[in-house]
Amino acid sequence: MAARTSEVPQPTRANGEDQLGLLIGGKVIETSDVFAVHDPAAPHDVVGTAACASPAHAVEAIEAATSAWKSWSGLDPERRAARVLEALEALDDDHQERVDLLVRENGKVRPEADVELGVFAWRCELAAGLAPELRNVRDFPPLGERPNVELARSGERPRMRRFMAPPFRSTVTAVPLGVVTIIVPYNWPLAIAAASLPYALVAGDTVIVKPPPTAPLCMMKTLELFASRLPPGVVNVVSGTNDAVAPLVTDRRVRHVVFTGSTATGKHIMRMAAENVTGVTLELGGNDPAIVLEDAELDDGAIQRLVSACFMTSGQVCMGTKRIYVHRSRFSELAGAMTDVLARYRVGHGLARDTTMGPLNNAGQRDFVRMLVDEARASGAEVRELGSISDECTGSGGYFLRPTLVLDPRRDLRIVTEEQFGPAVPILPFDDVDPLVEQLNDEWSGLCSSVWTSDPERAADLASRLRTGTTWVNNANAVAQDDRAPFGGFRMSGFGRELGIDGLLALTEPHTITYPG
């Protein structure tokens, strides 16, 4: 989309521009080196500036977190949980201002931003409620007499004999890891951070958060408020270039790294962490399929859920539906129903009341999605670009794309095989679900999937056969996420789990103590 003039647009300051510093050891640190954060709906507008750390700042944050860990890890789990809940009280006063800030830097519509800040608080409350789980002690009493295989001489059968097992007693407890680095993407930064941040705190770890460079401001402001109610150094925030903050992964005092983002970057994080055998939790890309069976109920509610599953946050959700496989007998019906809904979409600035879908967060992602759609169109697939872009945003230079359906593309096209992470979704007919399941289970992606059918038994059977970290029935995406359950992926969609008891224990280490009987 063309800029307003033929000249290169100069950055302009938005009203109430925010300038955020690093948070290290309870202090806000301003730096001479800063970077601008732009509004993706109007990229010539600067929403605010964020401090750009140096490697020395990253090391300082590690030192602050290491120092704070000694006392924080010594608190009872319930006391740590209570402190997390007390910290949430600091977020009450300027909620609406931070919602607007998130819209302006991220591009999502205002209702989504409002929900995101609510999810941050909700996940903190869930983590706090799990604190008693850390008091569970697994106890292994002394064993009595048990069989043992006596080694046989050559050519003889092994002989069994009885012996008295050593009378040991062992206990296993979950102990804090230490310093944890959390690296967050731009799409749902606060919600994603809250999948691990409060769990690490309740577990007894101290944390350093690396915000996303294109949408750091709301996170930095929120965590600054949140950390103000916690001991200095328990929560630190360091923004900047990848090279500058590399110590947050490579320093031996960092005992775990939680990363959410692309598979390629996740591999790089693994290589960096391997130097010190640092633990990692990786929530990576997902080319998540929806399987719509011939008996699926495709009423208005179901179609709206499917559209939302695909186009929430302009398609920029890791757990969102990226492709739809529908039984051939329902293909035209489904494509037509989704077309009708998307035709009414209004694409524009996320703060506008009548906006249904905002821009993509950055030009690179917009261009990538546009390229995938152009490839599909050139191959002969039918492409339906739907909805309209608001007049106010025409000529703004914003990263807007209309919601797009790509009908029955070739299966080898990248719109099918790669995660597009944008508002363009292929719809593909199938005849037999069994080979489709085999195909999906053999692909690189294994984050999420969904099954759409009116038969509960068939749904349970098919869901149990899909090798993805989460499978939803007749719904999908964040609106269907049960935050009490663990979340993560199979295969190249990552490993490790966040949320729930599994996510809490993943940020501890099991410690075995063995006593004589």
For the stretch 185-218, what's the b/e string if a residue is b when 16 or more beta carbons lie within 10 angstroms of its beta carbon? Answer: bbbbbbbbbbbbbbbbbbbbbbbbbbbbbbbbbb
The pLDDT value recorded for residue 392 is: 87
Collect the ranges in the chain with pLDDT lower than 70: 1-17, 144-166
What pTM was estimated for this model as a whole? 0.91
Which of 218, 310, 318, 448 is the catalytic position?
318
The pLDDT value recorded for residue 156 is: 62
Q: Taken in order 470, 189, 362, 105, is the CA torsion positive or negative?
A: positive
| Residue 283 annotated to the active site | yes
Judge residue 268's burial from the number of C-beta atoms within 10 Å of its C-beta, 0-12 exposed, 13-18 middle, 19 or more buried.
middle
The pLDDT value recorded for residue 150 is: 54
93 DSSP 8-state letter: T
d(CA 55, CA 34): 14
The pLDDT value recorded for residue 162 is: 55
d(CA 70, CA 401): 50
Are the C-beta atoms of residues 363 and 189 closer than 8 Å to each other? no
Which of 116, 283, 419, 498 is the catalytic position?
283
d(CA 363, CA 367): 6
